[in-house]
Amino acid sequence: MTTAQTVTGERADLLATLAKHRFFLTFTTRGLTDEQARLRTTASELCLGGLIKHVTSAERGWAAFIVEGASAMPNFAEMTDEDYRQRENDFKLLPGETLAEVLAAYEEAARRTDELVATVDLDAVLELPKAPWNTEQAWSVRRVLLHIISETAQHAGHADIIRESLDGQKTMG
C-alpha cells in the first residue's frame, strides 16, 4: 500500500508506520474462510472481518475529514441510539459480505490515505467534529494521521488476540 510518489522524511515515516500496522492487522486474516472471519472468539463482540471493516470505515472517515473538515464526519453529539446501533454493523462481517471484499475495500482506503500523506499540509489545523469524547477543539493533519496509526495498531492487537483464540495462530508473537 504505497503511493506512486516518492516521499521522504516525516511523510516516509508516517507511511512506513501505517504500512507496518496495516500488515499486522490484515495478516491476522491469512487463510481464513468467511465464516471464520465472522466468528467471535472472545467475550467481545469483535470478529476479524468486522475489525477490518471498522478500521476501513474509520480510515475513510478521517481521510475525508482531512480533505473536507468536520462536515465529512457525523455529529456524534446528535446521534441517536438507533444511529449507534447501525454503526455496530461496522464491527461485523455481515451475511453476504466476504473477507476478500472487506480486505479489498481496506486496501483502497489505505491507498487514498497514503496519497494524502504524500501531499497534504501536515501542519493544517482542522476543527474536530462534535463528539462527547472530543475534549479538544482542533487537530493538525499530522495529529489526525497519528490517530489513524494508533487506531490501526490498537485494532491489530485486538485482531491478534481474536486469531489466537480462534486457532492458536499468532501475528506478532
Q: Just give the CATH number of 9-167.
A: 1.20.120.450
> How much is the pLDDT for 86?
85
- Report, as an integer, the average pLDDT of 51-79: 93
1 versus 58: the higher-pLDDT residue is 58
Cβ neighbours, 10 Å, residue 95: 7
- The string of pLDDT tens digits covering residues 113-144 is 999 999 999 999 999 988 878 889 999 999 99
Q: Provide DSSP, 48-101.
A: HHHHHHHHHHHHHHHHHHHHH-GGGS--GGG--HHHHHHHGGGGS--TT--HHH
The answer to whether residues 119 and 11 touch, using CB atoms and an 8 Å cutoff, is no
Mean pLDDT of 160-171: 93
Cβ–Cβ under 8 Å, residues 63 and 116 = yes
Digit-coded pLDDT (tens) for 25-60: 999 999 999 999 999 999 988 999 999 999 999 999
Domain segments of the chain as ranges: 9-167
